[in-house]
Chains A and B, each alone.
Chain A
């Protein structure tokens, strides 16, 4: 038997097994990927080589993100924790403001930034804007020591997930404003971890696509964080839909 036919047969067997493994009621809400990706995925069902290539590519992507979020231990050793945090933020194209200063340090569109931030040794950060960057759970380790961080924005960050939110407890005494809007991975399971942020005054949870019944969640959030102003725009609060979802939830429960 020729090699491609063998591969095909193996694939068929395998896909049959996968069918068995799949959860009977798994109907995910993931939108379908663009055409070329779908074509490649189609090819992976036929050929191991394409599958290898694709998984290698996604591995490379993950490694890249991981590298950019790596621990800035060297900088920390040379310049101290605050400069290391600052450098990490700028290298990820974010922005920040030192305590007691009015101007922000930011990276421009071409990735260039002002090296003057090095002159502020041992000045902690007060405001950090990481919106639309690839900051993730491990990257947060670079900001861990910032005990006077008051404002953090991770608006629209594709790598911010529930585990990230759970790790925000490192700022539990200082953080007052948090913007987690437009993050594609955040679910209700992570929002409950914000309980640990004692001083939170303002929380932006707008347009989180994976929150299933936003009306109810916002009410519960307000209940959980009584001193905090919750901003939630970008949700369709029509009653009919919400009611439907609640019933659906009831049905799923045992």
Chain B
């Protein structure tokens, strides 16, 4: 916009110069000019030409003059502001959720200046839009269950939170079909324990025996299943893109600033501190972040008080710049879209088999999406997002077809791959501040359940920043302590 304005101004000044010239000329040779103007068209063209040349000259001259306000930097109007209170790195669903909650919790309008830096506004690689979109309460850690319950509550009232006056209401396209976990002999006891944890936390889950299972879902082959747990409420799947956009729309309407660029460097100060054991340690404090503009050499340092790391799968890069390791790395996961007209119908839950394979319905036209995590030693290369179709043939399909016989006759119609923000320590989110980085907050490492937890995680991080501690959900268990102590807090999963 400002480029436009600037251009306009230069044209105007240039025109002003020329007009004044012409006026003097007119004064001098009035009769001849009259004859010219009534004369040939050619002459008119000549003057137009001259006019444009003059204006170009004038422009060049004014640009070259010392002290002119012109500078190449101004051309890019998308540059972030030079200062912000809080810079959120990563405009995925987690980043925008934090931005929304920060603006929501500020006391006065414009109280905190929140800048969200996202390097790719098309979100071509962001895991948010490449995920399967599921939400469940069937976890084993109370923290995760509570995060899901709080997020489901948020989604139920999403238009109270994220509705913008004068805009369409948010429609998440939530499918209330629930998750269905199947357990084999070996893992049935884990499922029972998880069930009681989930019930205690307030989740509505029910256990099914194989006969009940067969009765409820007649299309399923229950061989090998000794127990199943089915979510009755608050479980299902929704459109991740809608959630991301709703957060973004609301946060922008509340005054958060969006900027397209990549955070490539951090300026920080170090100070020596003594630990309780008498060891010397370096405490870092970030002063500014360097935001590199896309497809150009231009960059802008943004001074800030607090940096929030919500960069998803690549979030380990930021603390790396400070020399601090973060156990989060990208891991590629495939999602296959299959078509099977005779497959299970409207009642298809988000089914997770003990063999590791999962699938859910997609729309009403006999389409399903399916996938599974590869074994630890067979992680695919993460340099690109190419899909390995052999993986489906070898690993996924046989398991699918043995669970649902109708899937013998499926056809793969498309597939995509996305990056898990995989926490190599314990596959759970890392929420909070690193003890050795004074002003960087983390919200990353969710490894496959970040989308569903994003509303509650955003609130928790905003509480940490603005209130100094968790005020609604106590998530200190998901903090950095366990990472530093190397004490993984593992989900007790059946897969």
Decide yes or no whether B42 CB sits under 8 A from chain A.
Answer: no
Once the chains are docked, how many angstroms separate the CA of A28 from the CA of B253?
20
Q: Which of A18, A192, A196, A252 contacts B167 (CB 8 A)?
A: A18
Decide yes or no whether B156 CB sits under 8 A from chain A.
Answer: yes
Report chain A residues within 8 Å CB of B255.
14
Taking A224-B345, A224-B347, A253-B367 as contacts, is the C-beta distance between A196 and B337 under 8 angstroms? no
Report chain A residues within 8 Å CB of B204.
169
User: Which residues of chain B in 216-252 are interfacial with respect to chain A, using CB atoms and an 8 Å cutoff?
Assistant: 216, 232-234, 236, 241-242, 245, 248-249, 252
Asked if A169 contacts B233 (CB within 8 A), the reply is yes
Report chain A residues within 8 Å CB of B367.
253
Question: Which residue of chain A has its CB nearest to the CB of B367?
Answer: A253
Asked if B164 contacts A18 (CB within 8 A), the reply is yes
Binary CB contact string for chain A from 172 to 192 against chain B (1 if under 8 A, 0 otherwise):
100000000000000111111
Question: Which residue of chain A has its CB nearest to the CB of B238?
Answer: A189
Asked if B168 contacts A26 (CB within 8 A), the reply is yes
Once the chains are docked, how many angstroms separate the CA of A80 from the CA of B346?
38
Of A14, A20, A137, A163, chain B has the most CB atoms within 10 Å of the CB of A163
Asked if B364 contacts A220 (CB within 8 A), the reply is yes
Report chain A residues within 8 Å CB of B245.
21-23
Asked if A20 contacts B252 (CB within 8 A), the reply is yes
Tell me how far the C-beta of A115 lies from the nearest C-beta in chain B, rounded to whole angstroms.
34
* A-binding segment of B45-53, B175-183, B191-199: B175-183
Asked if A250 contacts B365 (CB within 8 A), the reply is yes
Report chain B residues within 8 Å CB of A107.
none
Q: Which of B164, B173, B249, B337 contacts A189 (CB 8 A)?
A: B173
Binary CB contact string for chain A from 72 to 104 against chain B (1 if under 8 A, 0 otherwise):
000000000000000000000000000000000
Asked if A166 contacts B253 (CB within 8 A), the reply is no
Tell me how far the C-beta of A25 lies from the nearest C-beta in chain B, rounded to whole angstroms.
11
Decide yes or no whether A154 CB sits under 8 A from chain B.
Answer: no
Once the chains are docked, how many angstroms separate the CA of A167 from the CA of B231?
11
Consensus secondary structure, chain B interface: loop
Asked if A196 contacts B156 (CB within 8 A), the reply is no
Report chain A residues within 8 Å CB of B176.
162-163, 165-166, 189-190, 192-193
Decide yes or no whether B123 CB sits under 8 A from chain A.
Answer: no
Decide yes or no whether B169 CB sits under 8 A from chain A.
Answer: yes
Decide yes or no whether B165 CB sits under 8 A from chain A.
Answer: yes
Question: Which residue of chain B has its CB nearest to the CB of A42?
Answer: B166
Binary CB contact string for chain B from 415 to 444 against chain A (1 if under 8 A, 0 otherwise):
010000000000000000000000000000
Tell me how far the C-beta of B254 lies from the nearest C-beta in chain A, rounded to whole angstroms.
10
Q: Which of A22, A62, A167, A188 contacts B233 (CB 8 A)?
A: A167
Decide yes or no whether A216 CB sits under 8 A from chain B.
Answer: yes
Question: Which residue of chain B has its CB nearest to the CB of A216?
Answer: B364
Report chain A residues within 8 Å CB of B414.
254
Asked if B364 contacts A249 (CB within 8 A), the reply is yes
Once the chains are docked, how many angstroms separate the CA of A53 from the CA of B248?
23
Taking A44-B165, A192-B176, A221-B346 as contacts, is the C-beta distance between A254 and B337 under 8 angstroms? yes
Asked if A196 contacts B232 (CB within 8 A), the reply is yes
Question: Which residue of chain B has its CB nearest to the CB of A55?
Answer: B165
Once the chains are docked, how many angstroms separate the CA of A235 from the CA of B248?
36
Decide yes or no whether B377 CB sits under 8 A from chain A.
Answer: no
Asked if A18 contacts B249 (CB within 8 A), the reply is yes
Once the chains are docked, how many angstroms separate the CA of A195 from the CA of B232?
10
Question: Which residue of chain B has its CB nearest to the CB of A48?
Answer: B109
Binary CB contact string for chain A from 201 to 234 against chain B (1 if under 8 A, 0 otherwise):
0000000000001001100110110000000000
Decide yes or no whether B288 CB sits under 8 A from chain A.
Answer: no
Tell me how far the C-beta of A166 lies from the nearest C-beta in chain B, rounded to whole angstroms.
4
Of B164, B174, B255, B362, chain A has the most CB atoms within 10 Å of the CB of B174
Report chain A residues within 8 Å CB of B167.
18, 22
Asked if A191 contacts B346 (CB within 8 A), the reply is yes
Question: Which residue of chain A has its CB nearest to the CB of B250?
Answer: A21
Once the chains are docked, how many angstroms separate the CA of A254 from the CA of B413?
9
Binary CB contact string for chain A from 142 to 170 against chain B (1 if under 8 A, 0 otherwise):
00000000000000000000110111010
Decide yes or no whether B258 CB sits under 8 A from chain A.
Answer: yes
Asked if B174 contacts A162 (CB within 8 A), the reply is yes
Decide yes or no whether B160 CB sits under 8 A from chain A.
Answer: yes
Decide yes or no whether A6 CB sits under 8 A from chain B.
Answer: no
Once the chains are docked, how many angstroms separate the CA of A135 from the CA of B178?
24
Decide yes or no whether A41 CB sits under 8 A from chain B.
Answer: yes
Tell me how far the C-beta of A171 lies from the nearest C-beta in chain B, rounded to whole angstroms.
12
Report chain B residues within 8 Å CB of A187.
171, 173
Asked if B249 contacts A21 (CB within 8 A), the reply is yes
Question: Which residue of chain A has its CB nearest to the CB of B242?
Answer: A23
Asked if A195 contacts B347 (CB within 8 A), the reply is yes
Asked if A45 contacts B166 (CB within 8 A), the reply is yes
Once the chains are docked, how many angstroms separate the CA of A62 from the CA of B253?
21
Asked if A217 contacts B364 (CB within 8 A), the reply is yes
Decide yes or no whether B28 CB sits under 8 A from chain A.
Answer: no
Asked if A41 contacts B232 (CB within 8 A), the reply is no
Report chain A residues within 8 Å CB of B234.
166
Report chain B residues within 8 Å CB of A35.
none
Asked if A28 contacts B168 (CB within 8 A), the reply is yes
Question: Which residue of chain B has its CB nearest to the CB of A50?
Answer: B165
Report chain B residues within 8 Å CB of A188.
175, 346, 364
Asked if B347 contacts A192 (CB within 8 A), the reply is yes
Give B residues with C-beta under 8 Å from A.
1, 156, 160, 164-169, 171, 173-178, 204, 216, 232-234, 236, 241-242, 245, 248-249, 252-253, 255, 258, 337, 345-348, 362-365, 367, 414, 416
7 A-B contacts, Cβ less than 8 Å apart?
A16-B1, A22-B245, A26-B168, A54-B165, A162-B176, A249-B365, A254-B414
Give A residues with C-beta under 8 Å from B.
14, 16-18, 20-23, 26, 28, 30, 41, 44-45, 51, 54-55, 58, 62, 137, 162-163, 165-167, 169, 172, 187-193, 195-196, 213, 216-217, 220-221, 223-224, 246, 249-250, 252-254
* Other A-B pairs, 19, CB within 8 Å; known A14-B255, A189-B175, A250-B365: A14-B252, A18-B249, A20-B258, A21-B245, A21-B248, A28-B168, A28-B169, A30-B169, A41-B166, A45-B166, A162-B176, A163-B156, A169-B204, A188-B175, A189-B176, A190-B174, A195-B346, A224-B346, A249-B365
